[in-house]
Amino acid sequence: MQSKEISANFKGVIDSTLREGLQFRETNFSLADQIQVLHYLNDLGVKRAEVGNPIANGQAEIITELVALDERPILISHIRNRLADLEAAILTGVDGVNILCTVDPERLAGMNKTIEDNIRILEEVITMAKANGLEVKVGIEDFFGQDQETALEVLQLADQLGVDRVSIADTLGIAFPWQVQQQVSWLRERIQADILVHLHNDLGMAQSNALIALLSGANYVDTTILGIGERTGINSLSVLLTSLYVLDNDRFIDDYFLPILTVMDNWLARTLNIPVPFSMVTNQETAFSHKAGIHLDAIKKHGPNKYEPFSPGVIGNQRNIIIGTQVSGGTTASEVQQFYQLNGRS
């Protein structure tokens, strides 16, 4: 029942490889790299991708080039709550803006603003963005660590002005699933607009938090390829989609071209000169490797579904059988070959 609720609430990912992903320590994308990212996302079926703030050095020219691509996702620029940022975004031709707000008193004091100043400016920015035909999202930085009533005041204003989405972020990556469930449910009761969650992974709970957020009424999840981003990153696009596939096979194999996931993750890993994490299902060496004798015996007798979450071919990966080790038992090379012939690499 819960899997159906998650599937019903989920409306899509907004991939941020070209914004949040740029903040990863090892990232230094060329324009060609950024174009390739959008090609992969488009082929996968991702409808929306986030790009940076055109105010930043060199970003306006890059974003303008990306907007000019014939086949691409909807491009949404991540901007501060400033009219100058919005005006720069409009000039690039992007399809939408994500307006980042803070309700942190210390941050506001550092910007010589009050919360009232921020709300007044936000109304102006939203109004201008909508007048220019843009999709609009308003996001609260570090939502789970802020005063909820003040955050709600900002998000309800955005909701009343007809934004497409509101966004809440676990900026520090320290929210626990029960906190996410409680606060997303609380927000869902008070907001009509779609809710997006942006979840950092410092404690390794971004994936669990994303699923519990969707169960609690959120509609979108920010992702990046390989989960790259500031510090330990955010939700991995491939991990989220494969989790949703396990929950609801029919829908997610129709909505997304999952066989591209392994190629996409490994391309980015090579580009950044980092490994695909051994714990990810798109790792071509480890993810579908079978080594223990009890596993090998069961696979020979009953098929790979005994010890695989799904067939590796679903995501374009392949199965590996490891023999001749201290834990592999008596499986022989000829039996491995027979296994591949019977079960294939799909």
* Catalytic residue list contains 295: yes
User: Rounded to an integer, what distance in angstroms lies between the CA atom of residue 219 and that of residue 239?
Assistant: 17
Burial class (CB in 10 A: 0-12, 13-18, 19+), 207: middle
User: Rounded to an integer, what distance in angstroms lies between the CA atom of residue 2 and that of residue 277?
Assistant: 29
Q: What is the token pair recorded at 324? A: 């001749």
| Catalytic pick among 39, 200, 295, 302 | 295
Q: The dihedral of CA 146, 147, 152, 158: what is its sign?
A: negative
Task: Please state whether beta strands 220-223 and 12-18 pair in parallel, antiparallel, or not at all (unpaired).
Answer: parallel
In the chain, beta strands by DSSP E: 12-18, 48-51, 74-80, 96-101, 135-140, 165-170, 194-199, 220-223, 289-290, 320-321
User: Rounded to an integer, what distance in angstroms lies between the CA atom of residue 13 and that of residue 73?
Assistant: 11
Residues belonging to the active site: 295
